[in-house]
Structure 1
């Protein structure tokens, strides 16, 4: 019985590692990390970026498996976490859209000469507003 549990633990950890490696490879392939480093002009801190990415993946997995109670200051921690995740998801979506060349095709289809940035901004603002309404309703209960 003990050998079976060890084998299942090994298989589960191996499969999780393969999936995580695939996700990180996808993020590197679409160029989100080099693009963020280029925008911030912090090329000399690449080792720090790599370390933070690896630690973020490890800590994210640990927090997903184990539930840690957030005591005093929990709202502040959750606010910082929410802003960080929102910024990351926004960068991921824009990097993916740019990689797929979706925005130029979209602007040609609707014959849009100028103002594409306002459409992108309104889509993001609508998503933000929808999220705020959703969470505000849940906080009232």
Structure 2
């Protein structure tokens, strides 16, 4: 590879990481996911553990996504992992349900409250098109 191609690849990769990281941080901080989760579960005294778990989980998953690792674990431990993943997805779905209450307020503040249907349809169609692209093109490449 040419040095300019390597430099361009580094810039694009770094920019993509910054964009995804900023979106993730905005999702957690602006929408108040962690404080709301601690409020709902009445575990406010463990908020530092939530923060550390999110930071470590993000760092470890980012590192693992750059590697080609296979975990050799016993079959019975998959039940425990599946339980943890199910709890995570369930709590994330509950948090997203709470976030949907924020959309009308956000639309009113930025002055597009009469176009809230278009905002919701953009989110729905964006997720649908992204999912179709992933499953129809990316998976088979």
Q: Same fold (TM over 0.5)?
A: yes
1:99 correspondence with 2:103: no
Per the alignment, residue 66 of structure 2 pairs with: 65
> 1:81 deviation in Å?
3.2
Alpha-carbon distance between aligned partners in 2 of 1:72 and 1:96, rounded to the nearest angstrom: 32
Secondary structure in 2 aligned to 1:94?
helix
CA change 1:47–1:6 in 2 (3 A) is: farther
Match of 1:33 in 2: 34
Distance 1:98 1:40, change over 3 A: closer
Gaps of 5+ in 1: 102-141
| Higher-RCO chain (CA-CA 8 Å, sequence separation at least 6) | 1
Deviation at 1:46, TM superposition (A): 2.6
Range with greater deviation from structure 2 (37-46 or 53-62): 37-46
Q: CA deviation at 1:74?
A: 5.6
Tell me the TM-score normalized by structure 1: 0.56
RMSD between superposed Cα atoms in Å: 2.5
Gaps of 5+ in 2: 102-141
Contact 2:37 2:95 in 1 (8 A): no
TM-score normalised to structure 2 length? 0.56
User: Does the 8 Å contact 2:27/2:33 carry over to 1?
Assistant: no
Structure 1 residue 72, shift from structure 2 partner: 3.9
8 Å contact 2:31–2:99 — kept in the other structure? yes
Relative distance call for 1:51 and 1:93 in structure 2 (3 A) is: same
Following superposition, the deviation at residue 3 of structure 1 comes to 5.1
Gap change, CA 1:82 and 1:24, over 3 Å in 2? farther
| 1:27/1:33 contact within 8 Å kept | yes
Residue aligning to 1:42: 43
